Amino acid sequence: MSEQATVAVGVDGSAAALEAVREATREAAWRGCGLRIVHAFIWPLMHVETGASEAVPEGGLRHDAERILAEASAAAKAANGRVEVTADLVTGGPAGVLLGAARAARLLVLGDRGLGGFTGLLLGSVAVEVTAHCTTPVLVVRGEGRPGPVVLGVDGSAGSAAAVREAFTEARQRDAELLAVRVWHDAATTLSYSVPALYDADAARSAEQHELDAALDAEQKRHPNVRVRTQLVTGRAGRELVRLSEQAQLTVVGARGRGGFTGLLLGSVSQQLLHHAACPVLVVRHTS
């Protein structure tokens, strides 16, 4: 099985990782491709004995790692027995191993929390690091599975354009409505003084709607059977998309939006969603 025809998923033995496996299996089935399950095995790099001992012949760190992969493979088979599954134990740190697995994959799927998560943290550090650097779309499985639309954040940036393509694919695969949202700032409500001679609220809203429609036009023509609804929302983009995620089955955003600082790999809106969304989040990076 070619890695280029796979969905990759990282596992660490946690319940969140097994849920990610089930979601990744569904994605692989929808895309008609195989599933590659990956577990990062860091101990050999630290010169730790990983094999069984005389006292516990069936034990050892390698045995535990192989058990994690076996459990994940069983979960994938239970989710969909028709998906071809491979399971790889790869030596290296979790973030590096997952980024390597993602390079040739169509999609990387992660759980939002791993075994090393602390109660006060809303998202595992590995998921943050991988999502910030990965050029492959990353699906972080969090929240509750529910029926509902695929919510897409649109802001006109290059990352947003890439997210539009993935969102249409996801909506088609899921037979779900696509709710495309543009968050804008209405000067009539945000300015502390009135500028009636300079500002036409209706014209501004019409221009925002035009930009939203234009951003969707090409993909809508490619996917005529996808049901699309558009919505203009005033407020802060991250907060509004988190709110809309409460009724969504998936939220899709670009990794970086307009106004991001050059040194940041992950935009503030995508970070807010990764930490607070009530449903899985698909983060898509623009690649030139």
- Is it the case that residue 187 has pLDDT exceeding 60? no
- Is it the case that residue 269 has pLDDT exceeding 90? no
Return the pLDDT at 186.
Answer: 62
Give the model's confidence band at 32: pLDDT under 50 very low, under 70 low, under 90 confident, else very high.
very high
Q: Is 256 exposed, middle or buried (0-12, 13-18, 19+ CB in 10 A)?
A: buried
**How does pLDDT run across 96-122, given as a tens digit for each residue?**
999 999 998 999 999 987 655 444 344
CA 129 – CA 14 distance, rounded (Å):
18
The answer to whether residues 14 and 114 touch, using CB atoms and an 8 Å cutoff, is: yes
**Residue 149 gets which letter from DSSP?**
P
Q: Give me the residue label for tokens 């050059």.
A: 262
Q: Is 253 exposed, middle or buried (0-12, 13-18, 19+ CB in 10 A)?
A: buried
Give 267 or 181, the one with higher predicted confidence: 181
- Is it the case that residue 18 has pLDDT exceeding 80? yes
Return the pLDDT at 205.
Answer: 83
Domains and CATH numbers, the chain: 3-141 (3.40.50.620), 150-284 (3.40.50.620)
Would you say the C-alpha torsion 193, 194, 195, 201 has a positive or negative sign? Answer: positive
**How does pLDDT run across 35-91, given as a tens digit for each residue?**
999 998 875 444 445 454 444 344 467 888 899 999 999 999 999 999 999 999 998
Amino acid type, 27? E
**What is the rounded average pLDDT for all residues in the chain?**
83
Quick one: residue 47, left, alpha or beta (phi over 0 = left, psi -120 to 50 = alpha)? left
Which tokens go with 93?
A: 């740190």
Which strands form 150-153's sheet, in the order they lie side by side?
85-91, 34-41, 6-10, 107-111, 138-141, 281-284, 250-254, 150-153, 178-184, 228-234
- The overall longest dimension of the chain from CA atoms, in Å, is 86
